[in-house]
Structure formats: C-alpha cells, structure tokens
Amino acid sequence: MSQVSFFNSIAKDWDNISKVDESKINYLLSQIDIQENDTILDIGTGTGVLIPFLSKLNSKGNIKAVDMSCNMLDIARKKFKDIDNVEFALLNIEKDELDEKFNKIILYSMFPHLENKTNTIKKLIQNNLLEGGKLIIAHSDSREYLNNMHKNKDKIVSESRLIDINDQKKIFEDVGLKVEAAFEDDNIYYIVLKK
C-alpha cells in the first residue's frame, strides 16, 4: 500500500481521530504573520483542518489547499464549499509541478511524510515562495509523541519521523536556507524559513 492509498483509506475517519487544538494552531500560524491579502499554500491540507483558521486570518487573499489524497480533498471540499477564497487541488508536492508563487507556505502535520524532505523544502522556497515570504513546518504535538504514533501505525507511515529541531535547522542551513525560528517542546514543533 502506498501513502496515497493509506491516507485515502483513513480519510472518512480522519476528523474523528485527529484532534484540533485551536490555541496551538493559532499560535503556530502567528509565527508567520499572515496578512489578510496574502496568497497561502496549505500543503497536505487533508480534510482542511487549517482552512477555518486561514480564512479568518486571510479573508481577502487566496488560499490554495493541496493534498495527494483525493478522498481527503473530497471531504474538505464538502466541508468548506461556502468559503470563496479557497481552491482545493489534488497534488503531490514532491512529484507534481506547481508554477505559482505564495506569500506563505504551510506544512502542518505532514512534513514527516515527505520522502525527500530537504530537497522538497528547498524547491518550494526557491520556486514557490515570494521574496520576503515565509514557510512553516508545524506540528501541534511533540516530536516524541508523533514519532511514537507513526511507529505504531501502519507500516506505510512507521518511518515518518521528525528529528531534533536543532539538527533539522542545521540540515536546512547547510543547504543555504534561511531559518528564522526553530522550536520544540512537549507540546509543539515548528520551523520557520524565510526567503
């Protein structure tokens, strides 16, 4: 089974099994200073967890929400059909070309599932982030919690891991990326990169 088929298979139950902590999500999004007319790329949107938060912060700008799971996207489209400034698209950010540029790029709860993490982030910043824009990798759980959860799930995601935040920061800096912030504790994990 591939990651796509794994996420397609759990899509219908996703909103019941994933917990949404509003205060953590608002805090994580505050790290990238979203303006109300920004263009935003929400990578791995799933069933659209971030959409209500993003549309509130960014009522005038466009939000492009992408995922490689068509079942996840179907649920997101139904849930948020009344939000005008959101476009949902089936896209594998590592394999498909995306020729648009954005003020903000968000990878919420999906970074460990990238196969080629460093190159993918570098490519997104070079090709899809506007000058002065910010990209955030964010999790509203600790690294330890997420790594244990993935290890005990389906073998498709058992190797989807986060590494120590300072090691991750160094990997990005070693390939020439600008890390603006990197933080982890028992509750959250995030890295902000800037162009």
% of the chain with per-residue pLDDT over 90: 71
Express each pLDDT in 15-65 by its tens digit. Answer: 666 777 999 999 999 999 999 899 999 999 999 999 999 999 999 999 999
Sorting pLDDT into bands at 50, 70 and 90, what band is 158?
very low
| pTM reported for the whole predicted model | 0.89
Instruction: Write out the two tokens for 122.
Output: 């570098």
- Report the CATH number that the domain containing residue 67 is assigned in CATH: 3.40.50.150
Encode pLDDT of 79-134 as tens digits. 999 999 999 999 999 999 999 999 999 999 999 889 999 999 999 999 999 999 99
Name the domain count of the chain. Answer: 1
In a domain, 66, yes or no: yes
For the stretch 168-188, what's the b/e string if a residue is b when 16 or more beta carbons lie within 10 angstroms of its beta carbon?
bbeebeeeebebeebebeeeb
Residue 170 lies in a domain: no
Note whether residue 27 is domain-resident: yes
In terms of residue numbers, what domain contains 73? 3-141
> What does pLDDT average to over the chain?
89
- Regarding beta strands 63-67 and 129-139, do their DSSP bridges make them parallel or antiparallel, or are they unpaired? unpaired
Within a domain: 11 = yes
Q: Which residues contact 191 (CB under 8 A, 6 or more apart)?
A: 136, 137, 165, 168, 169, 172, 179, 181, 182, 183
**Does the residue 167 lie in any domain?**
no
